[in-house]
Structure formats: C-alpha cells, structure tokens
Amino acid sequence: MVLFANYQKLWLYGEMSKPKNKQNGYLIFCTFHIFKKVRLNYEILIAFAVASAALAIAPGPDNIFVLGQSISNGVKSGLATVLGLVSGCLVHTTLLAFGVSEIIKRSDVLFWGIKLFGAAYLLYLAIMVYKSDSKVSLSQKKESLKGMGKLFWKGFTMNVLNPKVTIFFLAFFPGFLFSDELSTVLQFYVLGLLFMLVAFVIFGAIAVLAGAISEYLLRNPKTGFYLKWVQIVVFVGIALYLLVSDK
C-alpha cells in the first residue's frame, strides 16, 4: 500500500518522495494533500475552457454531424454520436501526454519548437476558415445506423482516425500547462478531460436543441458569418498566446 502511494506521488509530482501517511485511507489523504500543496494556475485553466467552448460552438464537421444525426434520427442518436466523438479525444490525449511529456523533460528548445509549430498551425487554420464559406450547411445523409452502439462507434472512429485532431491537440494543449509541480502527463490528461467535458456539454446541447438550432440558422443565415469570425479570433488568439506565454 505504501509503495503504491509512493509511486502515485512519483507520477503526480514527477519526483520521488517518501509517503507521509501509512493508514488505509491514504488515497483520500493523497488527494487532499495534492490539492493543498500543489499550485495550480486557475486562470490558465479557465482560459483553456473558454477557448475550448468557443471552438466547440464554431461550426465544424463534428458538431454539424451531431446536428444532422439529431435532426434525422432523433436526440438519442445525436447523444450517442457525441459520446463517441468525445471518447475519441482520450486516445489523442494519451498520445500527446506520453509523447510531448518526454520532449518537455529532455529539451526546452524542442518544447519551444512545438509551441512555434502550434502557433503556425493555428494561424494556418485561421486562414483556412477565413477562406471558407461562412454558410452553415445542414444537409446530411440520413444514415441507416439504428443501434446506439453503432452510432457511438461511428463517432469514436471519426475522431480517432482523424490525424488532424492529434495535430490540433499538439498545437493547442502545450501552451496551457498550468502547474510547475504536477507532472506534464497528468496536466495533459486534466486538459484532455476538461476539453472532453466542455465538448460533451456543448455538443450535447446541440443534439438536444437540434430542431431549434436548425430553424434559427435557416432564419438567420448571417449567424454562420459571425461564428466564422469567432473561430478565426480564437485561433489567432491562441496562436499569439502560445508565442508570448512563458510556459
């Protein structure tokens, strides 16, 4: 028990430390001790959550697919698709956490290179969005997927098999590390889970309110234009943040 608690602290803090609690309730103690001792930059976490929300709201293939599924096959179908899409993010988070964490440990120069690449990629995405049509297309093929499991798997594979998601995570996450004491692996997982939570809430709302959202978009075609510029501002803002932040 004590050895496991010691290993747990090693993974969380990134260094070896002797366990101070030898009672059976060491997990509760460790959790309390961690949040009491570790300094977390909540401003960075809030900024990350806000940026994630803005990106989730902006029209893209994922939320448009959720909207189309809900309109065509019902709210439950849309929610099953949302669960699949969000779950796929855990795979990308794991690849990022264990890959980039090693780079951060070995070289500050390489980490700066990753941030520079991330800023350049986000600016590229902003340019692509600027060149794209601001009209939100709601035309979706009605698929014959009836089971919730099949819809979940459809959303999961859409996310996991899309290399652009991994590239986006690589560009987006490293600039939002929020603690100098927690291991980078844990921080990436926290960011990944926070991103998943925000995406689930917003995508879930899109699934539940699909009918009202589609009617509003049809009545207000300029909404796509405004959402397009929200996406551009968010991409450029994150890119600039990556360049000027000292994380």
Regarding whether 224 and 202 lie in a shared domain, the answer is: yes
How confident is the model over 93-121, as a mean pLDDT? Answer: 85
Residue pointed to by tokens 């004590």: 2
**Alpha-carbon span 234 to 73, nearest angstrom:** 32
pLDDT at 195 over 50: yes
The end-to-end CA distance of the chain, in Å, is 35
How confident is the model over 119-137, as a mean pLDDT? Answer: 86
Regarding whether 21 and 89 lie in a shared domain, the answer is: no
Alpha helices in the chain (DSSP H): 2-13, 26-37, 42-57, 61-73, 75-106, 108-131, 148-160, 163-172, 184-208, 210-219, 223-244
The closest alpha carbon to 99, from 228, 221, 185, belongs to 185
Q: How many domains does the chain have?
A: 2
Confidence of residue 10 (pLDDT cuts 50, 70, 90): very low
Regarding whether 69 and 130 lie in a shared domain, the answer is: yes
Regarding whether 179 and 167 lie in a shared domain, the answer is: yes
Regarding whether 142 and 80 lie in a shared domain, the answer is: yes
Confidence of residue 143 (pLDDT cuts 50, 70, 90): low
Judged by DSSP in three states, 58 sits in: coil
**Alpha-carbon span 172 to 189, nearest angstrom:** 13
pLDDT in tens, 183-194: 999 999 999 999
Regarding whether 237 and 213 lie in a shared domain, the answer is: yes
Confidence of residue 104 (pLDDT cuts 50, 70, 90): confident
Paired tokens of 140: 């979706």
Which of the residue ranges 4-8, 122-126, 158-162, 185-189 would you say has the lowest mean pLDDT?
A: 4-8
Regarding whether 150 and 104 lie in a shared domain, the answer is: yes
Confidence of residue 200 (pLDDT cuts 50, 70, 90): very high
**Alpha-carbon span 131 to 125, nearest angstrom:** 10
Confidence of residue 73 (pLDDT cuts 50, 70, 90): confident
At residue 162, the pLDDT reads: 86
At residue 40, the pLDDT reads: 87
pLDDT at 137 over 70: no
**Alpha-carbon span 144 to 7, nearest angstrom:** 49
Domain range enclosing 5: 1-37
Regarding whether 19 and 64 lie in a shared domain, the answer is: no
pLDDT at 5 over 50: no
Regarding whether 59 and 10 lie in a shared domain, the answer is: no
**Alpha-carbon span 59 to 164, nearest angstrom:** 16
Look over the chain and give the mean of its residue pLDDT values, rounded to a whole number: 81
pLDDT in tens, 78-95: 999 999 999 999 999 999
- How many residues belong to the chain? 247
At residue 12, the pLDDT reads: 53
Regarding whether 226 and 210 lie in a shared domain, the answer is: yes
Regarding whether 16 and 106 lie in a shared domain, the answer is: no
How confident is the model over 10-37, as a mean pLDDT? Answer: 49
pLDDT at 15 over 90: no
29 compared with 129, residue with greater pLDDT: 129
CB-based burial of residue 70 (10 Å sphere; 0-12 exposed, 13-18 middle, 19+ buried)? Answer: buried
**Alpha-carbon span 100 to 48, nearest angstrom:** 18
Regarding whether 32 and 59 lie in a shared domain, the answer is: no
**Alpha-carbon span 247 to 240, nearest angstrom:** 13
pLDDT at 66 over 70: yes
- CA-CA-CA-CA torsion sign (165, 168, 174, 176): negative
Which of the residue ranges 16-20, 35-39, 152-156 would you say has the lowest mean pLDDT?
A: 16-20
105 compared with 197, residue with greater pLDDT: 197
